[in-house]
Structure 1
Amino acid sequence: MIQLKNPGIGMTHHRNKSNYSRTGRFRKLFPLLMLLVLFSAGCDHGKRQQELKEREAQVAIKEQELAAREQQLQVLEQELKSRQNGMDSMATDTSFEYQPWLVGRWDVKMDCVETGCPGSAIGDTKTEQWEIAYQGRSIIARVLVNNTVTRVYTGSYDSQMLKLMSQSYEEDPAKTTVMHIRLQQVAEGRLEGVREIDRPENCRIVYNLQLTRP
């Protein structure tokens, strides 16, 4: 009698062989997969390190710029204090006399008579209103536009001349603007003089000033 082979045994053997084949392939590919993962992680880490170094370099540059700007501002502040001290010493002289007629509001007209700056031209006219007062022995002139203070001049009255100055502080210290004003009384309730504006790069503007009571 012919005995038939059990088909189940053959199928089981075939599946075992197939599983073994897949396992073998996986074992061969596993090291390669690990290398790819490690390589990818290494690239990401290197990229992050590079970005971190770039950010640190940018922060260092910003800190250096800030330190330089602070130093420049300190120098400018010291110069302003020195000038103010000089004005104060003049004002505290025994010849100091209070000038009550200066105190109060003045209408100011300015005519440009000299300019070496772009954006301005000879013949330009401006009008402002100033509030002049004493602060101790110094004179303060507040510039008003729509009743809002836009600038403050400080100075003194000496030898029948009112001398004022103002200095602006910009984000870039190289753009600092200095203004000097000299005025004399030409009649009761009337002052005349000049305002000189000095900016970097040989930029200078001169205005003729007329101050009258409103």
Structure 2
Amino acid sequence: MKKIPFLTFLLSIILLVSCNNKNSEEQLRQRELDLQLRIDSFANVEKEYQALLQMKDSIVKADSLRILNDSLSSVVKFWPQHLAGRWNGRLVCVESNCSDYVIGDQRVDTWEFKSDSLNLYADLLNNKNQIVRTYNAAFNGNNIVLSFKTDPAVSKTVAMQTTLSEINNDKMKGSHTITIDSDCTAKFTVEFTRPSSNKK
């Protein structure tokens, strides 16, 4: 008889443990489900974070490109298309106190308006298309100023400046001044026209 209470006690413990086991399994499943929901939620937050990082990077890159383009456009200089290229130049002396130039003297030259990544310039060419002289150039949208100076070390210093104030697609007019040794000056009218092969 002693065995029956003991068996009853043992059976009740087994039942109690098995019931607790079912509850534990259910709780464990619920915890796993909650954990998976949290993992999924975290993964979504991570995706949103990565998308925001990519958007930030693209905005930074776009800003960097804009700043680079702005700085390059302020540094890189080009002649407008209607001014770049070859021009025939005709100079007529209108005033001179130099022995080298007489009023009425005329000159016809070929000029080529060029640019590199930093500067505007114009080459004066001879009849063999060889560069005789290169003028530094400045263009403000209304006027073109071409300037040349010989090296100060040479015995005869010469400064030349051409100012073109009437600018059209196929004709430009202005003045040309030559100063020699700072004590004689010759002034010219200048007219540039497009060579017939360059006209459109």
TM-score (norm 2): 0.55
Question: What's the RMSD between the two structures over aligned residues?
Answer: 2.4
Query: In the alignment, which residue of structure 2 is the partner of 1:138?
Result: 119
Size of the alignment, in residue pairs? 122
**Cα distance in 1 between the residues matched to 2:95 and 2:162:** 15
> Is the contact made by 2:78 and 2:116 (CA closer than 8 Å) also made in structure 1?
no
Higher helix share: 1
1:202–1:104 CA distance, 2 compared to 1 (3 A)? same
> How big is each residue's C-alpha offset from its partner over 1:157-194, in whole Å with a ceiling of 9 and x where there is no partner?
11410111001137644x21011111134432100011
Q: Which has the larger radius of gyration?
A: 2
Instruction: Please tell me whether residue 123 in structure 1 is matched to residue 104 in structure 2.
Output: yes
Q: Report deviation, 1:114.
A: 0.8
Query: In the alignment, which residue of structure 2 is the partner of 1:14?
Result: none
Q: Report deviation, 1:133.
A: 0.9
> How big is each residue's C-alpha offset from its partner over 1:108-155, in whole Å with a ceiling of 9 and x where there is no partner?
000001101012110000000011111224211111102111111012
- One-letter amino acid of the structure 1 residue matched with residue 111 of structure 2: W
* Aligned with 1:169 (options 131, 138, 151): 151
For structure 1, the residue ranges without an aligned partner over 5 or more in a row are 1-90
**Cα distance in 1 between the residues matched to 2:93 and 2:139:** 24
> Is the contact made by 2:78 and 2:115 (CA closer than 8 Å) also made in structure 1?
no
Query: In the alignment, which residue of structure 2 is the partner of 1:154?
Result: 136
* Aligned with 2:88 (options 102, 107, 123): 107
> Is the contact made by 1:163 and 1:182 (CA closer than 8 Å) also made in structure 2?
yes
**Cα distance in 1 between the residues matched to 2:112 and 2:150:** 19
TM-score (norm 1): 0.52
> Is the contact made by 1:112 and 1:208 (CA closer than 8 Å) also made in structure 2?
yes
For structure 2, the residue ranges without an aligned partner over 5 or more in a row are 1-72, 196-200
Query: In the alignment, which residue of structure 1 is the partner of 2:171?
Result: 190
Q: Report deviation, 1:202.
A: 1.6
The sequence identity of aligned pairs, in percent, is 24
